Amino acid sequence: MKSASQRFLSAAIASLLALSVMPAHAADPEISSFYVTTRDGTRLAVDVALPGDRTPDAKLPALIELTRYWRASEDPATGDPHPSLDVWDRAFLSHGYAVVQVDVRGSGASFGTRTAEYSPQEVRDGWDIVEWIVKQSWSDGKVGAYGTSYTGTTAELLTATGHPAIKAVSPGWSDFDTWRSPARPYGLYAAEFIETWSGFVGMLDRNDPATGGAVKRVDADVDGKLRAAAVKQHAGNPDVGAAVGGVDFRDQQLPGSELTFADICSLYWKKQIEASGVPMLVFASWLDAGTAEGALWRFANFSNPQWILLQATSHGGGAHASPYIVGDQVLPPVMSIDEQIAMRVEFFDHFIKGVDNGAERRSHVRYFNLGEERFLESSGWPPPGVKIQRMYARAGGLLSATPPPGDEGADRYEVDFGVSTGSNNRWMTQMGQPVLGLDNRGAMDARMLTYTSAALDADMQITGTPVVRLELSSTHTDGAIFVYLEDVGPDGRSRYLTEGGLRLLHRRVMDDPGFEAFGPVHSFAGKDAQPLVPGETATIEFRLNPISARIERGHRVRIAIAGADDAIFSRVPATGTPTMTLERNAEHASYIELPIVTIPDD
């Protein structure tokens, strides 16, 4: 197994090398680097790329990418810049946009110290960048924003500034609520991802030569002294791993900061984002952390015009991830990168340039249907005709639509802390890894508590957010619970479809969360913490991540229940091995609610 430092280095190098992937272009862009000073006096490093074939008096709209991962890099020995524009950037340039890339405060070659990721100050800096852009001689006064992952989130949050020049944004594979995805999903510490990411950004903030490069200086910084001064200020940045691992509750202040997770998410800015009225084209994946749920939450709760593409890909849309097709080999994405680019260009052309190309008439939700392996469309979410079907845990490991009789009993399960979703799971794909190995879960299923239906007598279409209700007791006051939804073929091969989970301490369900979540919501607040009473049955309710999948006739539906995912989450409890008892009788029925769409007759 790689050491932590090796993982950090691999992640950093992979990220930086990705910047150099670009198509040939007839006219190389004009790239200039500047410092832009914010209202509080902080200097942010900015690169402006203009199409190489533009005329001197041409006025252009700008697309902004506000990044945590260096806007560009250079050779640390020679100072020669590395290629900094990827295939997306080149495509936008070729369609007549200026591309503006910014090191957010406290990162890259920018000055400042970070208090948290996506801090309110970082968000407010976006206004200053837009204001600087619209004053440039090449600007036509119109601005959009785009990005993947961190930069996808900053694209959305830019709208919260309310700057009137912002006409459209396209958040890609972004995290709508960083507590729920990717920092502490289910109230659990996603240690493997966070500590890997923390090491990666720490290297970048230090301008560590182990990355194989150096953050690019601005043009005026010939001797590198300005960059050195900026990097020195980054020494005050918090250790992300220590900060995230140091809080157990969403309302708890992050170490060294006055901020909580509630202050650094899109919901915090809901009023301002809605007031902007800025339309959004959102990309996400069913199998990429919680990005699909975040996209659907935004769609349901924010009034901004929105169009969503829900794929079955890795983080960033670079590889296919459907467990019906993908095993242990990386396959091209569906839809292709070129098709994804075309969607964004069409969107920006309409809402920024005013091109009448029909972008606003597209279906608002386009989603990939696993199993059927094609895209479907809907004007809203959930799609019309969804009905809830309960399937109950029954004796003998059966999953049945028939409720259990009064005295059917219970099942005991001793937690196996070696159970995992593998190293290429939905959470670690956020470090740029493909999603692999979810096509045959039999070996792990044997280590979990499973309930499997009889063979289906007709195809089953699941589209939406499954919800589980478990009647559970434990020998310990705290623990974790995971539920995996799987498709079991006639050959016994089980394919992962989606998952959900909960730290049992957080089991209290909110009466009114104040937003639509398609299922029970937990506050994860300290005041709502509710330790288990050992041996006493408690009701545990939670959502699984949303999914759309068709399970064929002759296949079976399975839920697999575990108390750990060793590949990603910290162990709860830290010591001891709980034994859980799952009740499955009339008084204490345990079940999953599946959102089912009737399949029309051919």
Residues carrying an active site annotation: 149, 288, 315
Q: Cis peptide before 510, with omega less than 30 degrees from 0?
A: no
CB-CB contact of 321 with 314 (8 Å) = yes
d(CA 542, CA 559): 14
Query: What is the rounded distance in angstroms from the CA atom of residue 139 to the CA atom of residue 130?
Result: 11
Instruction: Report whether 156 contacts 278 (CB < 8 A).
Output: no
Based on the number of CB atoms within 10 Å of its own CB, is 295 exposed (0-12), middle (13-18) or buried (19 or more)?
Answer: buried
From CA 450, how far away is CA 582, in angstroms rounded?
11
Instruction: Please give the Cα distance from 246 to 240 (Å, whole number).
Output: 10
Chain center to CA of 315: 7
Burial 406-424 (b: 16+ CB within 10 A, else e): eebebbebebbeebbbbeb
109 closest CA partner among 205, 8, 199, 18: 205
Q: Give dist(CA 534, CA 546) in Å, integer.
A: 32
Contacts of 137 (CB under 8 A, 6+ apart): none
> ∠ at Cα 504 (424, 252), nearest 5°?
85
Unique residue bearing structure tokens 């300290």: 526
Q: What phi and psi values does residue 130 have, to the nearest 5 degrees?
A: -65, -40
Strand partners, 417: none
- Residue 242 CB neighbours (<10 A): 14
Cα 465 → chain centroid = 16
